[in-house]
Amino acid sequence: YLGRVADSYYLLFALRQSPEVMQAVGKVVGSSKILLDASTLVPCMAEILLPEDERRVTGLFKSAIKSGVKLYVSQEAIDELNAVIRKARAIYSAEQSRGFHYGNSGLVDAFNANPSQWGAGFLDFLDQFAGEDKPDEDLKLFLKHHLSVEFVSFVNERDAIDKSVLEDISAKLKPTRRTKEMDEAATDRLVRNDVTCLLLIEQLRHAENAVDSYGFSWWWLTSDRAAYALDRSHRSPKACVCMSPDFLLRYLSIQPLPATTDARAARHLPIAVDVAAVGLIPPEIKATVEAALAAADKLPKYMRLRKIRDLMNQARSPHE
C-alpha cells in the first residue's frame, strides 16, 4: 500500500512538473463549456436530502465552476427533469393510495433512504425544484441559484441543425431505447432530445477556432450509456461529443484548485492517495509517464500540442 501511495505521489509530481501537461489540463478543464444532461442533474436534486458536505455531485460542479468551467442547460434537460418529477409524484401517489407502485424513481428512492434528513413530506421535497404553475421557470431558477447552471435556448444553433439528419439518426436510435416502462411518445421524446443535444454541440463547435488548442471547449456531460453509444455510432467530426463525469472528476483532481475553492466541495474530489489506496495505479504507469515525457521533449512544440490534444480528446470519451 505504501509503495502504491509513493508511486501515486511521484506520478502527480511528474505531471505537475511538466508545464505543458499542466497547461493542457488547465486549458482543457478551465475553458470547458459543458451542456448538462438530465442524468447528471438528478443526483444533485437527490443530494438536497444530504448535509452540504456530503453532496458529492454538487461538490463536483461547484469545484468545476471554481476552475473556470461554464455549465449550461438546454430545454431538452428541462423537459426531462420535469418528466422525472412527474414520474416521482405518480409513484409516490401510487404508494400512498395502493401501497405499491410500478417503475423506479431515483428521487423516491433517495427520499426513502434519507427520511430523517428532510423535515417535510415528499411533495414538499419535490416542490424545492418545481411547482405546478410554471415548472420550467422554477427549474431554471433552481439550477441557476443552487448550481450556477445557466439556461440557454440556442436558437441559432437549432435553426442550423439539418432536420433530415436529426430525423434519420432518431429513427435509427429509437429501437434501442424502447423499454417496458416507457410509452411510445416518451421514447420518441427522449430519443429526439439526445440527438438534438449531440447535434447542438456540433453546431457550437463550428464557431470555435480549434487550431493551436487542446481540442474543443463545448461538450455534452452525460451519465447515460445510450448517449455514449449514440456518440460512438454517429462519429462526430474530429472528436466525440460526450464527456463522462469521471473525466471531469479526475482532471479536476490533477489540476491545482484555486485558493477560493470551497474546502467542503474539494473534500470529495479524488486525490492521489485515494486512487492508490484502491490499487488503480499499476507500478508500470510511472515508467510509462517518464518515457512519454522524455519522448515529448524531443518533438517540435506543435507536435507536442497535437499529441496532448489527441490524448485529451481520447480521455474525455466515456469508456462504457
Instruction: With cut-offs at 50, 70 and 90, classify the pLDDT of residue 178.
Output: low
> What integer pLDDT is reported at residue 275 of this predicted model?
46
Tell me which residue of 41, 33, 35 sits closest to 58, measured CA to CA.
41
pTM of the model: 0.74
Per residue in 16-66, pLDDT tens?
555 555 555 555 566 789 999 999 999 999 999 888 888 889 988 988 888
For strand 218-221 and strand 150-151, is the pairing parallel, antiparallel, or unpaired?
A: unpaired
For residue 94, what is its C-alpha cell? 401510487
62-93, pLDDT tens digit by residue? Answer: 888 887 889 999 999 999 999 999 999 988 88
Q: What is the pLDDT of residue 113?
A: 85
- Which are the contacts of 107, defined by CB distance < 8 A and separation ≥ 6? 42, 45, 46, 84, 85, 88, 125, 126
